[in-house]
Amino acid sequence: MKNYLVIQLARFGDLIQTKRLLKTLAARPEATVHLCLDASLAPLARLVYPDVILHPITAHGTGQDSNETALRMLLDNRRTFATLAAIDFETVFNLNFSGLNFRLAALFAPERVEGYAWNNGQEITGQWPAMAMRWSGFRRLGINLVDFWGAYCPDMLPAPMVNPKATPKGGGMGVVLAGRESRRSLPAPLLAQITATLAGARNAQSITLLGGQAERAAGQAVTKELPANLQSVTENMAERTDWQRLVEVIDGLDLLITPDTGTMHLAAHLGTPVAAFFLSSAWCFETGPYGLGHTVYQGVTDCLPCLETAPCRENVRCLNGFADPGFRRFLVTGKAGHAPEGLLALRSAFDDLGQTYEPFAGTDEDAPKRGVLRNFLLHHLGGAEPRFDRLEQFFAGQLYREKDWMTAEKPSRKQE
């Protein structure tokens, strides 16, 4: 029996987006897969990854004093750290760049750690995540996070085997009221207009509004803006779903309307169709819904994708295409000639690297460069022969460093 550990200490959406890596490891002969994650997400992980052994820890402190938080985390996690240190792991996949992740890596021999390792007091960043940090300067060209984490394994599972193809389930429409970042979300009146348009076009029999405690009021505002006939079939479930209930609701929907959220990734995991609205810092080629059967409406102003931490100096110009009255007509017809400026409409698709999106309205001006980068990464991962034209040579110069050519790949990168 071979034990593999994945350390994923990020949030809800990241947990779901680790699926290609986890399924790849589970498919290896005589494999037992372990997952170290924040304890708040353990109930969800038990639902979506029932065959994975969980090691919950306190990863996100809630105290105001940093020293107090660090001490509490250490005491809470001591037993789990001891359990992990006692297991003979074939490989440890440490996925997050954080102080806690590096300290966790210190429990294991550095040659067995992929991603972020610890060697004699020194933080070591592996070649693959180091390359990702470098291509963050080309965010419009980047690859889906599911594929990035999956590519830690050269034998990664074929992309179509990760999530089921999305199909309507018969349970009406769901609406995620807001994302974690307000700029990524549609204002309540606009969200209500889009919901009403799609509900009418699809003859939706029910609408379920979803969100946390902070979105309860937004749900009331959206309901108030809906036509009377839709108000009567709308249920505001914001703040009223635990993980089990959320999975049950999402798994039964015909369509989920959502910004870039963890709930969107949960829908893709379950094979529920997604209509996603991406703007501000959200970029579908990085974090779009994974699988076939999904649609993304992506803002494409020249300032996107922006940084969540930086103030918007453009008065959220990327929202204009969604607010254009012609957008609702386009939602119904799907005809390219009806699409307003500033938007790309895309359908989810696959290529040899993994998830991509094909436009059916608007012009994806980055497509040629993105194709070259994806070919370059396939070559790097061992999946395709390089062309090494001028643009690939440019990417080679940007993504590689001299030491990358001088240092042999570690044995743990080889297929098991």
Q: What is the DSSP string of 400-413?
A: --HHHHHSPPPGGG
**Separation of CA 125 from chain center:** 22
Closest CA to 370 of 385, 355, 360: 355
pLDDT of residue 196: 98
Fold of 2-125: Rossmann fold (3.40.50)
Rounded Cα distance between 228 and 271, Å, is: 31
pLDDT at 214 over 80: yes
- Specify the higher pLDDT residue, 388 or 144: 144
Alpha helices in 203-356 (DSSP H): 216-225, 228-231, 243-251, 262-270, 284-287, 320-323, 325-333
User: If DSSP codes are grouped into helix, strand and coil, which group holds residue 223?
Assistant: helix
pLDDT of residue 402: 65
User: What CATH number should be reported for the domain whose range is 127-416?
Assistant: 3.40.50.2000
pLDDT digit string (tens) for 285-310?
999 999 999 999 999 999 999 988 88
pLDDT at 140 over 50: yes
pLDDT digit string (tens) for 93-106?
999 999 899 999 99
- Specify the higher pLDDT residue, 198 or 184: 198
**Per-position b or e across 284-305, b if 16+ CB within 10 A of its CB:** bbbbbbbbbbbbbbbbbbeebb
pLDDT of residue 408: 45
pLDDT of residue 340: 97
Residue 226 burial by Cβ neighbours in a 10 Å radius (0-12, 13-18, 19+) = buried
pLDDT digit string (tens) for 341-366?
999 999 999 999 999 999 999 999 99
pLDDT, mean of residues 50-76: 77
pLDDT at 409 over 60: no
> What's the angle, vertex CA 9, arms to CA 86 and CA 215, rounded to 5?
145
Share of residues in the chain with pLDDT > 90 (%) = 79
**Per-position b or e across 10-39, b if 16+ CB within 10 A of its CB:** bebbbbbbbbbbbbbbeebeeebbbbbbbb
pLDDT of residue 69: 66
Q: Are 138 and 406 in contact (CB under 8 A)?
A: no
Cβ atoms < 10 Å from Cβ of 187: 18
Q: Do domains 2-125 and 127-416 have the same CATH topology?
A: yes
Domain boundaries, given as residue ranges, for the chain: 2-125, 127-416
Q: Which helix (H) or strand (E) holds 343?
A: strand 343-350
pTM (2 decimals)?
A: 0.94
pLDDT at 64 over 80: no
Task: Dig out the tokens for 259 from the structure.
Answer: 């910004």
pLDDT, mean of residues 161-183: 93
Residue with tokens 């390089």: 386
pLDDT at 405 over 60: no
pLDDT of residue 410: 46
pLDDT of residue 67: 63
Closest CA to 161 of 20, 275, 289: 20
pLDDT, mean of residues 16-20: 98
Task: Dig out the tokens for 295 from the structure.
Answer: 């649609």
Share of residues in the chain with pLDDT > 70 (%) = 92
Alpha helices in 40-157 (DSSP H): 42-48, 66-85, 99-105, 127-135, 145-150
Q: Are 84 and 107 in contact (CB under 8 A)?
A: yes
User: If DSSP codes are grouped into helix, strand and coil, which group holds residue 19?
Assistant: helix
Closest CA to 41 of 246, 211, 217, 219: 246
